[in-house]
Structure 1
Amino acid sequence: MNKKERISAAFAGKEVDYVPSAFWFHFSDDLFYGDKAVEAHLDFYSKTDVDLLKVMNEHLYQFDIPIKTPSDWKKLKPLPIKNSFYQDQLYIIKKISDCLGGEVPLLATIHGVFASAFHGSRLPGETIAGKNYVTNHLKEDPEAVSQGLATVADSLTELSLACLEAGADGIYYAALGAEECRFSEETFLKYIKPYDLQILKTVQERCQFLVLHICKERIRLPLYADYPADAVNWAVHDCGYTLKDGRDIFKRTILGGLDDRSGVMLYGSKKEIKQEALNLIETFGKKGFILGSDCTLPTNIPIGNICAAIGAARSL
């Protein structure tokens, strides 16, 4: 099997010659953009030989106006395709695609509606886990903020399709908003989920591969059960839902298994990492599984640790 055949089979829950692997991390700040970002991705791929290459997206969403009050959300306009938010990221995807020539499936990273709304409205010092405009305003005047989220969703839909045209084989969509500590279940279902679904349903019709990442801890995982995706990834070690729980909820291929913030993957020996990966695969099975981590690995993780996990997957 080549890598696209292997990933296609894994997403379809079919037999694979070995369990494919997919890992990634944020490169250092000086490698975020342009040709340096392209070179960083190619170097990472050359050293790890991952079966699925996620193209990192450090081009965070930009608003055309500052947000100060809930009513400001109604004034947002979609980002034009010529905006640097689009063009710089599309350049990176196209260059990587041209260099690799279809050897490995490429996933373009799309920060979801909630995350992008946070990025666009964020003030210095604000964090997505703490107080921020999008969270506070959605509680104060959800109808006004909803209009802004609709605008963001339209722009992200356009960006997703442009990424596919630039050479990405699929989309890695990072969803947020259903954490227990953020909103009520009703708020998420009415004001965030519909916009996530708008993007995902459009993208699913156009791409080969669609991965749903559900970000943060203490998430209400079942609320995402009907999201379109070929594979699902979440923080197994932080949210209380095991790999088996996720398979029961989504009934689709699962990506992940290894802790991205502590434990063997970060601090273990190569032997321990290999054993951890083998244990995961032997317990979870080879069908419908892609070995990876809960989320983005730390920038300073030794490449050898990633290679050890990948090597273990290929030994079975």
Structure 2
Amino acid sequence: MNKREVMFNLLEEGQSPPYIPAAFFLHFDPAFHRGEAAVQKHLEFFRATGMDFVKIQYEHTFPQLPFIQRPADWAKMPFYDLDFYAEPLAVVKGLVQAAKPEAVVVLTLYSPFMCAGHTLGSDRALSRHIEEDPEAVKKGLSIITKSLLEFVRACAALGLDGFYTSTQGGEAGRFSNPALFDEVIRPFDRLLMDEVNRLTPFNILHICDYHLPYERVDGFLDYPGQVVSLGMELTTRTLTPAEAYALFRRPILGGLNRHGVIAHGTPEQIRAEVESVCAAAPPRFILGADCTVPSETPWENLRTAIETAHTFRRG
């Protein structure tokens, strides 16, 4: 069973993969964001760490637009056609051709809310716009979503296996009225993610706590995705991977804090923590971090964690 088969086996309830798979992600130096250099760096990282699938980092964010100053300005949001995505599509094509025979290949996909934050230059400023005039901001989010839909369809046509679909906006304290997430952000998340899951078979829902933590995550139970990635540190409690699995009934990716021993620990510390996590892990589990690990994290640390997961034997 090769790595590709292991990952698809994991999606089948009742199946037992031959080992606990693992994967970590980091951003490479800008010299490796585009073209053949990006393809080769992703392959180097995949093989050096021994991880179980290829996750392409998306490094082509929406440009900041200074003319969007007020909520009403979102009506002027430009539509980016496929010419805008030429560089990431070339990286997708190269990695699908190089790695798909042996491994699942997925691509980071930022949500419409996150792309709007890049456009404005601040997710907090975007939150203020939504508070002030949600209907006006929806016009921009609609344009962004249509653009992203064209991009994911092009990726699927190239043979990509799926996406690491990130959502933000539902964190604790993001809005004075939390219902704004359901009114403004959720509908565009679902439009994009539903299409992604229609087109591709291996998608990872990432409930991203990069900026803010969550009070609870059960509001995402209806979000699609064959695997769920999330941070375990909520404002009210700390989840375990087993509790997250019981909640979502899907394979869970995570278990380690991206700023913890995986980033700066000794081999012994890393092995001890990974063994502790794996011992309590649910039956369908992928060892990983709660989000992208710091770029300076030694690759040897990641390889140590992955090898420990691969050789761990459940009692």
The answer to whether the Cα contact below 8 Å between 1:64 and 1:77 also exists between their aligned partners in 2 is: no
User: How far apart are 1:90 and its partner, in Å?
Assistant: 0.5
- 1:84-108 residue CA offsets vs partner (Å, 9 max, x unmatched): xx11000011111222242111111
Structure 1 residue runs without a partner (length 5+): none
Work out the CA distance in 2 between the residues paired with 1:292 and 1:23: 5
Q: SS where residue 209 of structure 1 aligns?
A: coil
Q: 1:18 to 1:218 in 2, by over 3 A?
A: same
Return the alpha-carbon distance in structure 1 between the equivalents of residues 270 and 65 of structure 2: 46
Which residues of 2 match residues 253-292 of structure 1 at below 5 A?
A: 253-262=251-260, 264-285=261-282, 287-292=283-288
> Out of 240, 243, 257, which is 1:242 matched to?
240
After superposition, residues 129-168 of structure 1 pair within 5 angstroms as 131-132=124-125, 134-168=126-160
Does residue 224 of structure 2 align to residue 210 of structure 1?
no
The AA in structure 2 aligned to 1:161 is R
> 2:172 matched to which residue of 1?
180
SS at match of 2:203: strand
Distance verdict in 2 for CA 1:63–1:273, change over 3 Å? closer
Counterparts in 2 of 1:180 and 1:237: CA distance versus 1, 3 Å: closer
Shift of 1:34: 2.0
Superposition misfits of 4+ residues, deviation over 6 angstroms? none
Q: Please, which runs of 5 or more residues in structure 2 have no aligned partner?
A: none
- AA partner of residue 66 (structure 1): F
Matched, 1:22 2:19: no
Identity of aligned residues (%): 31
What residue identity is the alignment partner of 1:311? E
Q: Match of 1:69?
A: 70
- Looking at structure 2, the residues matched to 119 and 102 of structure 1 have their Cα atoms a distance apart, in angstroms, of 34
Q: Offset at 1:185?
A: 2.3
- How far off is 1:293 after superposition? 0.6
Aligned counterparts of 1:12 and 1:296: Cα–Cα separation in 2: 26
Relative to structure 1, is the Cα distance of residues 15 and 200 closer, same or farther in structure 2, using a 3 angstrom cutoff? Answer: same
Query: What TM-score, normalized by structure 1, do the two folds share?
Result: 0.91
Are the aligned partners of 1:66 and 1:121 in contact in 2 as well (CA < 8 Å)?
Answer: no
Distance 2:11 2:100 in 1: 22
Contact 2:99 / 2:105 at 8 angstroms: preserved in 1? no
Q: How far, CA to CA, are the matches of 1:213 and 1:56 in structure 2? A: 14
What's the CA shift for 1:63? 6.8
Instruction: State whether residues 237 and 259 of structure 1, in contact with CA within 8 Å, keep that contact through their aligned partners in structure 2.
Output: no
Please state how far the C-alpha of 1:62 moved relative to its aligned partner: 3.6
